[in-house]
Structure 1
Amino acid sequence: MKLLLFISLLLAAIPVLGQKGCFRAIQNGQEVKVICVGIPVFFEDCSPDQSTRYTTFYDPGPKAFDPKNYDESKLVSRGADGRFQYTYTNPGKYIITQIINRGGGQSTTIEPMEFEVVATPVPAFTVQACASRSVQLTIAETGYDRYDIDYGDNTVVQGVSAGEQPRYTYQGTASSYTIRVSGRYTGSTCESSSTNTVTLLPTPPTPVITQLEVLREAIDGEIVFTLERLQPGYRYVLERRTTATGNFETIYTSTQLTQTTWTDFRMGNVDTRQPIQFRIRPADDCGNQLTIFSEPVTSLVLGVQPGNELANLRWSGIGAAMQRYQVYRDGNQLIELNGNTTTYTDPNLTCGQNYCYRVTGALNNGLSRTLSAARCIRATSTTTPPAGYLYSTYDLDNQVQLQLTLPNGQTAQQVRYQRSIDGAPFADLSVGTQTAQTDLLQPLNPVCYRASYTNLCERSAPLSNTTCPVYLIALPQENSPLITLGWTGYVGFPDGVSQYTLELLNADNRVISSIPVSGNTFQERNPSDELQQLRYRIRATSGNGSTHSFSNIVMIEQPVQVHIPNAFTPNGDGLNDVLEVKGRFIKSFSIKVYSHMGQVVFTSEDRNTSWDGTYQGKPMPAGAYAYEVNIVSNSGETKQRIGTITLLR
């Protein structure tokens, strides 16, 4: 009812702008010029002519009050406690207007005043642990006019602006602290705070470069480091210099580390053709580089020059004295030298061989190790290489196999084989790269060989020894069951031949008998009854018994032997009672017996089946009978025998 009365009077009264209207904004018990969002604000009348007869209202804005156009529901009236209370929900610029109706048709006072309504977000800040028990804060812009920092050790710093990065050093002994940042507005009680807990960085130990290895020596070379005694939470700065008295320069700064050891830390695009001295130092994320330096470690630059079957090594570094050097060849240590020695000669290299060298140095009382890049050379020589040793033998296919054994340390770039057949002058057999050679000698004859080689330094060796494999022949013996063999002696064993052995081989090349022989001939008086094909060879044994050479294989085929009687007497006296075929080396046979009328009276393909003079169980009459015998020998030869046999009774 009062509000309606007031509104009607307000429309009837003449507004007086500037008639001593006055009010204050009270928040959290204090007068404020800046009002906080979400916290009740009270409007208090401070006009000089206050009276209980007056009716007072407040327009909370945000725009200026218009007496002719306003929303009466938004006006703030006196509450039950007699106070004018309002809570803002959105920040911004507001014109708050006091409206006083003095009643009785008197004037109405309208008193506007501009206020800023602000939010109270949680302050955002980061804290970075720095060296020497210090921290650095970075406060993000969240709209407050100023910030207060409570460092958690009873130290409070006030009036810090957003964007500042204040630093603070703790004097206590605790390892971690909780920091509170409060944001405030000027002329307001509005504030908010947030906290972060920081763990202080310990003082780092002196770092160590335990290994420096040059992987590649070039203008854009590469080095790999192993770093130890690192302190997590710090960055590490790698510095270098190229003279022992020059200033170090920074070439790399790591990110913050989490480990105490860093292996396989690689630096590329480094000119490693000259020695470089390196050191490392810790740095924090606050921009501080600590004066805690590792002992410097130098890279090594190695030079290798080939000589006559030797290599001359020379290396250099920078600065700190070495305790010792170690020289490696192909991964194996050759020698350890004192720290004052920077040259070494590696003798007795093999011509044409590739050798790779590295030098390592120990320094800083053995805590650090530096490795040069590998340098490789090909050994050279002007020395004539020694002759090789040539061995010869026939194989089971009657081909001559040659093997050239090179002296220790020699490698053949080219091998030349020469051959002399039956005493003729030597002529080239082949030129190649292999130390093994096969000669498809046809026809077989007495033959000798020799060889020479050119090594990797293109130096030619003298001719090898001459080697002549044993040549075996079977001497013809007319109308004699004896087998006579003859052979040439083996030439080539350094210690001569201690024994010749005649070996008999079966069809599978298995030795079935062996006989020591002497001289150059042998007569076989009792040839095998089981083998139609006799395969002989001579085995020559070296003087010390360790090596054998074989002759060619000579094959002698024994003739098939067939015996058919000319008569038999089937009278039961046990003598010549049946007709049977006997012989040697018969694989298969067949027999047919015919009567004088041409009738087949007996047939068989079994050598164990004989004819007893009967036909269909009845004795045949005495007389002459024809026969036909067909034979296949063990070697596949076929024979046929046709004749007559007399049956006697």
Structure 2
Amino acid sequence: MRSVKFLYLWLLLGMLLSPAEPALAQACTSSPNPPACTFVAVDVQTNQIVEKLCVGRAVRFDLCSGRPPLVYFYQVLSGTNAYPNPCGPGLRPSPFVYTPTAAGPVTVTENGQAQAGGGVSTIYFRVFEVYDNPVPAFTVAACSPGFVQVTLPGAPYNSYTVQIGSSTFAAQPGQVRTFPVPPGATSITVAGIYSDSDLCTRSATQPLPQLAAPGPLVIQRLSVQSSSVVLETAPLVAGYSYTVEQADFATPTTFQAVPGAVANGLSGFTVPAARPGYYRLRRTDICQQAQAISEPVSTLTLTAQPAERRNELVWQLGPNPATYELTRNGTPLPAPPPAARSYSDTAVACGLRYTYRLTARYAGGVSSVSEAVSVLATATQAPATPRLLATFDERNRVVLTASVARFPSTGQLTYLRDNTVLGTTAARTLRDSLASYSPETAPCYQVRFEDDCANRSAVSAAFCPVVLAAELAGTRNSAVRLRWSGLRGAPAAATADSLRYRLLVLNPDNTVRNSYAVSSRGTYLDQLLPTDLQAVRYRLEVTGAGLPAASYSNIASAVRPLEAYVPTAFTPNGDGLNDVLEVKGRFLRTYTFTVVDRNGQEVFRGTDRTQAWDGRIRGQQPVLGAYVWRFEAVDAAGKTVVQHGTVTIVK
């Protein structure tokens, strides 16, 4: 501390005694006749003399060889020829270390003060350039495997070195360069270099990005959707650039980029306001090292126009596909041949709207799909005459079923019975009921059709279903005579396939109990009546002659009389003969049988044939005499049968 104070005192004394030294209120001026070398800047870290200074790197100022032993002071000001004013207050004694903080020129002032006893004070100046040394702000992008693209910064460095693994490359500021990546390299280091300064360099290191192998470039499905075209591709790989290109049908080899294409993630592109023609994809990486072009796929433009009871389809497509797939309302139609560019759909009905979609399939699973197009079928000609089937159901209602070629559900059907309109409906089935049926007056039905374009068909041929009648015959009603009307209106009564009649004998639940093949002559005598049924039910089944299904007659029944027999006397004496009073007869199932005495008191009641009267009254022995009985039952036809009589108990 004492030596520093001593130096300041010498400086002050020298300034007061020497007229050549600058006054404190004046700017510093250079001493005349400076030596060839006044002072130098020395890098503190390397102890090397430097001509250029670096931001953040310390230097000290040393005298050149041969300088006199004065007391030296230094001051650094920013700028060229930036002299201290006033001269003196900012000067610092040697040794003086200076660390630049900003790039640009600086002026270093050296003031040498003579010591007492000799020497001349001096002031010299030197201008140094300070270089900035920022971390190089470079970017690196992955290319196809084995390459990277590096974008180098511009100022302040004069040049750069790029080190990747064991390889080092020279590069210039602002360059965008593609470099090969040596095997095993994992990072990249970029160093900035000044051409006239080895000490102001600085570097930065980044990991090497990885880009996956590109994979196949295939448009798997091209579909037209409204005014857009949608390209569905094999999975695309991130990191590559993809461009949609299009060529018109007239110039199929002249492709141009489509600027409005929108990426659908990594699965394809959507092209709004798309033009018909060929589409393909171009792939590149940022280094232009992985260029590839997909095979072009053509759009499929489908149009549909109505004609007389047919729809005409026309389409535009590039090369012929391997196969076509054509659908109407979602249902496949017969496929057109590969070379086809049109199709006529004749299986259409007037007034119906049909929607078509066409798909062209190529090798490798590639397909081109049209937009779905709709058309309303029209016609001016009369539709086909409908076909009619009439049959009785199990409730003896006539069920009419109509069908019209090409019109499975639309249009209106008018049903007629004996030329009288039953009703008009879109339904293909109608039921008709009559109070009674007779073979002599069998009803006949017809139908006509009107499509949604108001075209009316001819009236169908009359269809007359079989009407069956049954009546009891023979001794004690032991047989049933059947008669029926013949079926009329079968589509084709050809000899090889004439109508076949089968007589069905039914159980009470309408299941078939027995059946017989009968002729169409209209009569049959059934002598094999079931013994357990009071009512015998019959039905005729008619098939063949082109009938789409069996036609059945009404169900006809023959009800035999219910018979009950009660004896006039019985002998409840325990001898095993006529000991009980029981009801006998035919078709007895449930009934009410009561016995009353002479006073009108009920002495017995039975409801089926398992119950018999042994003559006892409230457990007492039988009393001889006459009694009155009453029998009541409901037969199979729903008729109530009542019988009365007397019975006598005898010994």
Structure 1-normalised TM-score?
0.72
Match of residue 59, structure 2, among 41, 52, 57: 41
Distance 2:63 2:550 in 1: 132
- Which residue of structure 1 aligns with residue 446 of structure 2? 450
Query: Contact 1:121–1:192 at 8 Å: present in 2 too?
Result: yes
| 1:97-136 correspondence runs (5 A) | 98=110, 100-104=112-116, 120-127=133-140
SS in 2 for 1:334: coil
CA-to-aligned-CA distance 1:402-449 (integer Å, 9 cap, x gap): 1224447887633222211xxxxx122222223322223344452111
* Conserved 8 A contact 2:320-2:338: no
In the alignment, which residue of structure 2 is the partner of 1:579?
581
Q: What is the Cα deviation at residue 506 of structure 1?
A: 2.9
Q: Would you say 1:156 and 2:154 are equivalent positions?
A: no
- 1:379 deviates by 5.6
Name the amino acid aligned to 1:88: T
**Distance (whole Å) between structure 2 residues aligned to residue 278 and residue 44 of structure 1:** 75
Secondary structure of residue in 1 paired with 2:5: helix
Q: Which residue of 1 aligns with 2:39?
A: 23
User: Is the 8 Å Cα contact of residues 212 and 299 (structure 1) preserved in structure 2?
Assistant: no
For residues 256 and 394 of structure 1, the distance between their equivalents in structure 2, rounded to whole angstroms, comes to 65
Residue 124 of structure 1 aligns to which amino acid in structure 2? Answer: A
Q: Which amino acid aligns with 1:138?
A: T
| Equivalence map 1:619-630=2 (5 Å) | 619-627=621-629
Specify whether residues 110 and 564 from structure 1 end up closer, same or farther in structure 2 by C-alpha distance, changes over 3 A only.
Answer: farther
Matches of 1:629 and 1:410, distance apart in 2: 60
| Contact 1:412 1:454 (C-alpha < 8 Å) held by counterparts | no
Write out per-residue CA displacement over residues 22-64 of structure 1, whole angstroms, 9 at most, x where no aligned residue.
Answer: 533211444446533554422212497521xx44455678997
Contact kept? 1:570, 1:613, Cα under 8 Å: yes
Range with greater deviation from structure 2 (548-557 or 514-523): 514-523
Q: Which secondary structure state, in structure 2, belongs to the residue aligned with residue 335 of structure 1?
A: coil
Once the two structures are overlaid, the 10-residue window that deviates more, 324-333 or 395-404, is 324-333
CA shift in 2, pair 1:30/1:4, >3 Å: same
Q: Which amino acid aligns with 1:224?
A: L
Name the Cα RMSD after superposition. 5.4
Q: Is the 8 A contact 1:325 1:359 kept in 2?
A: no
Total equivalences in the alignment: 607
Distance 1:415 1:601 in 2: 68
Give the equivalent residue in structure 1 for 2:18: none
The alpha-carbon deviation at position 368 of structure 1 amounts to 9.0
Give 1:440's aligned amino acid: S
Distance apart, 1:208 and its partner CA? 8.0
Say which SS state the counterpart of residue 4 (structure 2) adopts. helix
- The aligned counterpart of 1:147 is 159
Using the alignment, how far apart are the partners of 1:646 and 1:538 within structure 2? Answer: 51
Residue 394 of structure 1 corresponds to 392
Distance 1:239 1:525, change over 3 A: closer
CA distance 1:18–1:355, shift in 2 (3 Å): closer
The alpha carbon displacement at 1:394 in A equals: 0.2
Deviation at 1:401?
A: 0.9
Cα gap change, 1:120/1:641 in structure 2, threshold over 3 Å: closer, same or farther? same
Map 1:257-276 to 2 at 5 A: 264-272=268-276, 276=277
- Is the 8 Å Cα contact of residues 301 and 372 (structure 1) preserved in structure 2? yes
Specify whether residues 109 and 456 from structure 1 end up closer, same or farther in structure 2 by C-alpha distance, changes over 3 A only: same
Is 1:491 matched with 2:488? Answer: yes
8 Å CA contact 1:34, 1:185 repeated in 2: no
Q: 1:193 is aligned with what amino acid?
A: S
Q: Secondary structure at the match of 2:258?
A: strand
Q: 1:373 to 1:608 in 2, by over 3 A?
A: closer
Instruction: State the SS of the aligned residue for 1:270.
Output: coil
1:539, 1:555 → 2: CA distance? 16
Residues 225-265 of structure 1: CA distance to partner in whole angstroms, max 9, x if unpaired?
A: 7589999845446254575399754323989999xxx8643
Structure 1 range deviating more: 406-415 or 535-544: 406-415
Equivalent AA in structure 2 for residue 415 of structure 1: L
Q: What is the alpha-carbon distance in structure 1 between the residues aligned to residue 63 and residue 375 of structure 2?
A: 102
2:190 matched to which residue of 1? 181
Q: Distance in 2 between matches of 1:245 and 1:396?
A: 70
Question: Which residue of structure 2 lines up, in the alignment, with residue 503 of structure 1?
Answer: 504
Amino acid at match of 1:194: A
Q: 1:250 maps to what in 2?
A: 257
Residues 520 and 241 (structure 1 numbering): CA distance in 2 closer, same or farther, change over 3 Å?
A: closer
Q: Which position in structure 2 is the counterpart of 1:646?
A: 648
Q: 1:121 to 1:574 in 2, by over 3 A?
A: same
Assess, with a 3 A threshold, how the Cα gap between structure 1 residues 228 and 504 changes in structure 2: closer, same or farther: closer
Quick one: distance in 2 between partners of 1:77 and 1:227? Answer: 75
Structure 2 distance, partners of 1:472, 1:459, is: 38
Q: Is the 8 A contact 2:538 2:555 kept in 1?
A: yes
| Per-residue Cα deviation, 1:266-286 (whole angstroms, up to 9, x for no partner) | 3221243xxx45566555547
TM-superposed CA distance for 1:210, in Å, is 6.1
Contact 2:504 2:539 in 1 (8 A): yes
* Cα distance in 2, alignment partners of residues 168 and 512 from structure 1: 95
Which one-letter code corresponds to 1:506 in the other structure? N
Per-residue deviation at 1:521? 3.8
| Secondary structure at 1:192 match in 2 | strand
Deviates more, 1:597-606 or 1:327-336: 597-606
Aligned residue number for residue 569 of structure 1? 571
Q: Does 1:435 align with 2:428?
A: yes
Moved more, 405-414 or 620-629: 405-414
Aligned counterparts of 1:631 and 1:231: Cα–Cα separation in 2:
93
Counterpart for residue 423 of structure 1? none
Secondary structure of the 1:4 match is helix
Q: Tell me the secondary structure at the aligned position of residue 447 of structure 1.
A: coil
What is the aligned partner in structure 2 of residue 81 from structure 1? none
Shift of 1:474: 4.0
Question: What is the aligned-residue identity percentage?
Answer: 27
- Give, in angstroms, the shift of residue 298 of structure 1: 5.8
Separation in 2, partners of 1:314, 1:592? 90
Asked if 2 retains the 8 angstrom alpha-carbon contact of 1:328 and 1:335, the reply is no
**How far apart are the structure 2 equivalents of 1:256 and 1:535?**
76
SS of residue matched to 1:3: helix
How far apart are residue 520 of structure 1 and its match?
3.0
5+ residue gaps, structure 2, are 16-20, 23-27
Q: 1:610, CA displacement in angstroms? A: 2.7
Q: Higher mean Cα deviation, 371-380 or 427-436?
A: 371-380
1:606-630 Cα offsets, whole Å, 9 max, x none, are 6434333344665434322344556
- Contact map agreement 2:71 2:113 (CA 8 A) in 1: yes
Q: Which is richer in strand? A: 1
Deviation at 1:395?
A: 0.2
Q: Which amino acid aligns with 2:485?
A: T
Q: Tell me, yes or no, if the aligned pair for 2:137 and 2:152 is still in contact at 8 Å.
A: yes
| 1:453 CA displacement | 2.5
- Asked if 1:192 is matched to 2:202, the reply is yes
Q: In the superposition, relative to structure 1, how do residues 641 and 458 fare at CA in structure 2: closer, same or farther (>3 Å)?
A: closer
1:228-247 maps to which residues of 2 (within 5 A)? 233=240, 235-236=242-243, 238-240=245-247, 243-244=250-251
**Any gaps of 5 or more consecutive residues in structure 1?**
79-83, 421-425
Distance 2:133 2:427 in 1: 92
Q: Report the secondary structure of 1:397's partner residue.
A: coil
1:142-169 deviations in whole A, cap 9, x for unaligned? Answer: x634333457766534xx44xx235579
What is the distance in 1 between the residues matched to 2:245 and 2:373?
A: 27
Q: 2:137 is aligned with what amino acid?
A: A
Relative to structure 1, the CA distance from residue 240 to residue 514 in structure 2 (aligned partners, 3 Å threshold; closer, same or farther) is closer
TM-superposed CA distance for 1:537, in Å, is 2.4
Deviation at 1:565, TM superposition (A): 1.7
